[in-house]
Structure 1
Amino acid sequence: MAKHILLYGLVALSFCCFVFAFEPSPLQDFCVADPANSARVNGLACKNPMSVSVDDFSFSGLHLPGNTSNPVGSRVTPVTVAQLPGLNTLGISMVRIDYAPWGINPPHTHPRATEILTVLEGSLQVGFVTSNPDNSHITKVLQKGDVFVFPVGLVHYQRNVGNVNAVAIAALSSQNPGVITIANAVFGSKPDIANDILAKAFQVDKSIVDQLQAKF
């Protein structure tokens, strides 16, 4: 009997840990972010409900194409708590992503969110890589109306595989999902990661690392 109680306790504890691994549920109808408040909390402090307006719950601009004239040929337009204060404590956000022909959204991760992406226009190759030791590459070409999910924390990317512009909308399971672009983080850190460390990690000559660090 004692073994059963211990087993049930461990199962219950596991479920509790799973729940607390994600953003907590709100304890009130809303908690509109107050960027003027300097209080340090896991999220943003709440604005006085009496000063909340309808504008705190709306955002305009996702109908506007992003400027893709950059080296990677894509532009992400975010709608996180920074742009939409009413998202505070609600555990969701979204982005619009525009892609020039053959443009990419480079390999990156979201440390705090799963992402679900819908193609609105064009064709996208999408993919993610599973964790060590397998590092399986899960990839597919999506057409207009197709949906794909990128599990939380895994490295993923998108590429426009057409000769016309492509557009996608993605939802994320955090008000502030964060983004770590792999190339920028590794080769553009401040201060630099020592080139001998990166040379050994990527198994290339130090001169190649120096070239990459100069680009970022």
Structure 2
Amino acid sequence: MSSFVVKIFLAALAAGAAQALPQMSMSTVTTSAVARTTSFSVASSVMAATSTVPSAADAAAKAAALKQLASDLIKEPTSVDRFTKLLTTGGDGKTLLSGQDLKDRVVFDFNNAKPANGSLGGKILLANVDNFPILTDLSISTAVATLGPCGINTPHIHPRATEFLTVVKGQIQSGFILENGFAVNNQVVSQVSTNLTALQGTVFPMGSIHFQFNPTCEDAIFVATLNSDDPGTSQIAQNFFALNGEIVDAALGFPFTIAGEDINKFRAQLPVNLAVGVDQCLKTCKIQTK
């Protein structure tokens, strides 16, 4: 494994907690036609709220309404039925929504991305079927991320999607590792690496372990489109160290083990997603880490 990947892995272990990519969590499907109509009315009224700084309760209510709306759309047998329910008043197919009500159904605002408490690496927001119901059965989702100086989107996989990433601002170093068995000249390829600048893009195959790293002292922004409305995300280091300690020891080369208390320390320090790291970048940008 290259020293660059090792540094990124260690940076992921050492950095503080940050924001994970949102995961799909569907509500129980409502079976009553009356309840369904009510849920659409609730979703409309909640999403029409225009407060610039919504309270936590407002945000929770809006998220719940979006989940219910997505759940209701899944029940519809055809795409036409889904769009009728989504884009007409009360879902009755008689009057097209207008103004803010319509905008709330067809526009996703990536400006709402917020870094997690204590995040050092940046912020990321994924529009998927869970928070943007119009994506139901469209097999597409999109994330927009801002990586701060030396920020890393730590190694992860998308179990249900291939990702196409495009840099909008700054520079991104990325890499991926394919499944077991991919080799060149009978040698396992440890990493396929790419350097990207603004308006350049690359692909991460479905299930491949991949990462994005901002090697500069300025923010970098990228857009990632995935061919699933529920792509899922699994962070490699974080989920690996969540396994039983004996399994972690065995995978790392038992009997040369990491003591159980040290594994717990690793677990406590792992970021959820966005971290900062790579020694030279941190020194160049004069970034202090704990």
Structure 1: which 5+ runs fail to align? 1-31
Matches within 5 A, 1:65-76: 66-67=114-115, 70-71=118-119, 73-76=121-124
Matched with 2:144 is 96
| 1:130 equivalent in structure 2 | 178
**Cα offset, 1:199, TM superposition:** 1.1
Q: 2 CA distance for matches of 1:92 and 1:166?
A: 23
Counterparts of 1:55 and 1:199, CA distance in 2 = 52
Contact preservation (8 Å) 1:56, 1:84: no
- The question of whether the paired residues in 1 share the 8 Å contact of 2:108 and 2:132 is answered with no
CA RMSD, aligned part only? 2.9
- Which digits, 9 at most, give the CA deviation of each residue in 1:42-87, with x for residues without a partner? x933376544223464233224564377455032211101121111
Structure 2 residue matching 1:52: 3-state secondary structure: helix
- Alignment partners' CA distance in 2, 1:212 and 1:111: 25
SS in 2 for 1:175: coil
User: Which moves more between the two structures, 129-138 or 157-166?
Assistant: 129-138
TM-score normalised to the size of structure 2? Answer: 0.55
One of 13, 33, 44 as aligned partner of 2:74: 44
**For 1:1-216, what aligned pairs fall within 5 Å after superposition?**
35-36=67-68, 44-46=74-76, 50-53=84-87, 54-55=102-103, 57-63=105-111, 66-67=114-115, 70-71=118-119, 73-133=121-181, 134-188=188-242, 193-203=243-253, 205-207=257-259, 208-216=262-270
The residue type paired with residue 209 of structure 1 is I
Structure 2's unaligned 5+ residue stretches are: 1-39, 41-64, 88-101, 182-187, 271-290
Task: Give the structure with the larger helix fraction.
Answer: 2
1: distance between equivalents of 2:105 and 2:204? 27
Q: What fraction of aligned residue pairs are identical, expressed as a percent?
A: 28
Report SS of the residue matched to 1:205: coil
Residues 1:62 and 1:198: Cα distance change in structure 2 (over 3 Å) = same
TM-score in terms of structure 1 length: 0.72
Residues 154-177 of structure 1, C-alpha deviation per residue, up to 9 Å, x if partnerless?
100000011100100110000000
Deviation at 1:185, TM superposition (A): 1.2
